[in-house]
Amino acid sequence: MRKAFKIVLAVFAILVVLVLAIGAVFFLDLAAYTATGSSNLTPTVTSVGKAIVIYDPGLSGAAKSVADKVASDLQAKGYAVTLAGIKSSVASNITGYGVVVVGGPIYAGSPTISVKDCLNDLKPAQDVRVGVLGSGQGATSPSDVQMIRDSVASLKSGPLLDAVVVKIGQGEDLTARASDFVSQLTA
């Protein structure tokens, strides 16, 4: 009887540790610490300005794919684009950019801590267009976008309140949704 109790107790302890470890990955946003690189994309047409796309890749990397697509769409519209991981040194300075996009995964209807921190630290000039993008499971509903918008609005006032906000769900047409987002952002 005691041996069975010890086995059950050991299994329970392992499960608790496992749940805490998984929770730490999500709540501490450990995947963001892998996003330290950056790259530059030169415009394919006459340059109209500079843009920076700052991304948290998330656990699956889907948010990085969305950021890549948004960056290439901005490049096609004539922007010299810097694609920067959220923990890169490049991401901390948005001076000189006319378009700033910050994005990452959406967990439980809210951007990750690293995305919120980045948005909270942004101090864009009045004429800078700001976009917030999210990537998540399932199709996007208006309530998903509203939850992201509410998260952003609670961080700051000013230019972030006018930010273009989008969530692109896995399984949605990434090309069309990213193109629409970029069109809204550059209009």
Length of the chain: 187
pLDDT tens-digit map of 45-63 = 888 999 999 999 887 778 8
In degrees and rounded to multiples of 5, residue 39 shows phi and psi of -145, 160
Residue 115 — pLDDT band, cuts 50, 70, 90? confident
Gap between the Cα atoms of 26 and 50, Å rounded? 32
pLDDT tens-digit map of 137-172 = 765 667 777 777 777 666 555 556 678 888 888 778
User: What's the token pair of residue 142?
Assistant: 């208006």
Regarding predicted confidence, which is higher, 86 or 27?
86
Residue type, 16: V
Decide if pLDDT at 14 tops 70.
yes
Measured CA distances, 65 to 16, 53, 54, 57, 94 (Å): 33, 12, 12, 8, 22
Mapping DSSP onto H, E and C, the string for 130-181 reads: EEEEEEECCCCCHHHHHHHHHHHHHHCCHHHHHCEEEEEECCCCHHHHHHHH
User: What's the token pair of residue 41?
Assistant: 């994309």
Gap between the Cα atoms of 32 and 73, Å rounded? 23
Between the CA atoms of 133, 138, 143 and 144, what dihedral angle is there, to the nearest 10 degrees?
-30
Q: What is the dihedral sign for C-alpha 77, 81, 87, 92?
A: negative
pLDDT at position 47 is 86
Give the global pTM. 0.79
Decide if pLDDT at 77 tops 80.
yes
How confident is the model over 107-116, as a mean pLDDT?
82
Gap between the Cα atoms of 62 and 58, Å rounded? 7
Give the CATH architecture of domain 32-186: 3-Layer(aba) Sandwich (3.40)
Average pLDDT, the chain: 82
Regarding predicted confidence, which is higher, 129 or 25?
129
